[in-house]
Structure 1
């Protein structure tokens, strides 16, 4: 019996080749529901990247046993529906750890050195020379920070945060602190990270605040106007986690009012964002189009891990990264 796997979008060849050795693989012409519905009926597995997997699509797949998410976040999958219908959901939490940690460290450096303003000044023809450096710095309103001995505050202490803590702490000499009530003390100790007992204390202490939590009901707008008001004047906020974790309107107002020195955003409450996203008008905000995990190695790792998760389920093995463990009570 040959299994049938439907991909809503293409993935790296290594993942496709792995699937093709043991299954029939079909790539949808587009991730739109209208294009997926005719193809899902006889699919045993569905592999998605940024497209949505809702209840209607799942019900259209009467044979569907597993949905694999090419990435970590599963907010584009209706987990309740999948569990109710007996469909396992797997993801790839370790595949892009280093990529996102590297991106976040780059974002910290970008904010610290104010590259946006420096580049624009240089393109205008301004150039700092040693003899006139003080005057030019005053003209630009442009100063930079060394990050050594600065406090990096991590909201969440999962794989990416732990990797970033090593890069920033050991590699760059930052003082790393974190708040995560769900993680054991020994995880903090092993990472050399100081545990902070509450979010407010971390917000008040951090020179750079980096978010590393999923977007859930409990974390929606975790960082809002009240939390931003607690942060140090001149602090920087980095979000490469999920857009809904930050109240964008509150952050925009804090940036516009000069409360924070900078921010770096790779994720947004609406993706793709509207063309009139207010952050486009702010020079001290670094904006990237959800690319933190889009490196050569991470894309290969995510393709292989998602393919292996699918094959584990179809061939009767326990998948390494099962998201909805409660499904095992009524799995297809």
Structure 2
């Protein structure tokens, strides 16, 4: 359900809109603010949500490196010891990732030096386009589909400039299972489950319950992140 301005305008007693997670693209924050309604989300580091997203990023990276889809094809064809995977997964020192001021430099320059890029940008971020210099680099997206230019991604997959794409999010959701991009063997799509683990769901549900009790009692909210 989307809380757009039309829905919010009809709210008579609403005091708080709280996202079960961190993404607030479905909430018109400006309309809620004008109505005097607080908007909040659950900090990912407090519930294990952030850790589960990181795990999914690594899962997709490994799936691309070890050619997960091609392995399934080999199983169906009863072929052993194929395909040959890759193992260039590595972690540079922090000094290689940040400048002397403590922040990373130009994103395009940074990405052009990487073998695998993990996109963690918000939906409204500038679109990521031609960031790969070396042929065969990998791209993993566990944030939102918006920052990736669909046509550019397809072009780079067709040319081989992009060696693989792992996505837990897509341009539209639910994503069309017959979309041409899924016909590439080096594309892995999961159904937006990065933050969906038993631990994170139980933890987030507890935060929601605690906030509901605080709201009912008229107490100060804790355990959430207000955005307005």
In structure 1, the partner of 2:162 is 260
Distance 2:19 2:57 in 1: 22
CA RMSD of aligned residues (A): 2.3
Indicate if the aligned counterparts of 1:99 and 1:295 stay in contact, CA closer than 8 A.
Answer: yes
1:322 aligns with 2:197: no
Partners of 1:278 and 1:214 in 2: how far apart?
25
- State which drifts further: 284-293 or 53-62: 53-62
8 Å Cα contact 1:179-1:199 kept in structure 2? no
For 1:296 and 1:57, locate their aligned partners in 2 and report how far apart those are by CA, in whole Å. 31
Is 2:26 aligned against 1:76? yes
* Range with greater deviation from structure 2 (65-74 or 278-287): 278-287
> Are 1:145 and 2:86 matched, yes or no?
yes
Counterpart Cα distance in 1 of 2:120 and 2:177? 26
C-alpha separation in 1, matches of 2:6 and 2:69: 44
1:63 aligns with 2:4: no
**Counterparts in 2 of 1:85 and 1:321: CA distance versus 1, 3 Å:** same
| Matching residue of 2:61 | 108
Larger helix share, 1 or 2: 1
In structure 2, the CA distance between the partners of 1:213 and 1:240, relative to structure 1 (3 Å rule), is same
Q: How does 1:226-265 map to 2 (within 5 A)?
A: 226-227=130-131, 230-265=132-167
- Secondary structure of 1:293's counterpart equals coil
Q: Which consecutive residues of structure 1, in runs of 5 or more, have no partner in the other structure?
A: 1-50, 129-136, 151-173, 186-194, 326-332
CA distance in 1, matches of 2:27, 2:97: 27
Deviation for aligned residue 1:83: 1.1
> Matched residue of 1:304: which SS?
helix
Cα drift, residue 57 of structure 1: 1.4
In the other structure, the counterpart of 1:91 is: 41
Assess if the C-alpha contact under 8 Å between 2:64 and 2:138 holds in 1: yes
Cα 1:215–1:307 shift into 2, 3 Å: farther
Q: Which moved more, 1:314-323 or 1:199-208?
A: 314-323
Displacement, 1:322? 3.1
Instruction: List per-residue Cα deviations over 1:257-301 (Å, max 9, x = no partner).
Output: 211111100101111123432222111001111111111111111
Assess if the C-alpha contact under 8 Å between 2:42 and 2:225 holds in 1.
no
CA contact (8 A) 1:66 1:310 kept: no
Can you give the 5+ residue segments of structure 2 that lack an aligned partner in the other structure? none
- SS of residue in 2 equivalent to 1:63: coil
Give the ranges of 4+ consecutive aligned residues of structure 1 lying more than 4 Å apart after TM superposition.
176-181
Secondary structure of residue in 2 paired with 1:145: coil
TM-score where L is the length of structure 1: 0.62
Cα distance in 1 for residues equivalent to 2:93 and 2:112 = 14
Distance 1:78 1:64 in 2: 14
How is 1:270-309 mapped onto 2 (pairs within 5 angstroms)?
270-309=172-211
Matched-pair contact (CA < 8 Å) for 1:211–1:241? yes
Give the Cα–Cα distance (whole angstroms) in 2 for the partners of residues 306 and 212 of structure 1: 25
Measure the CA separation in 2 of the matches of 1:175 and 1:145.
18
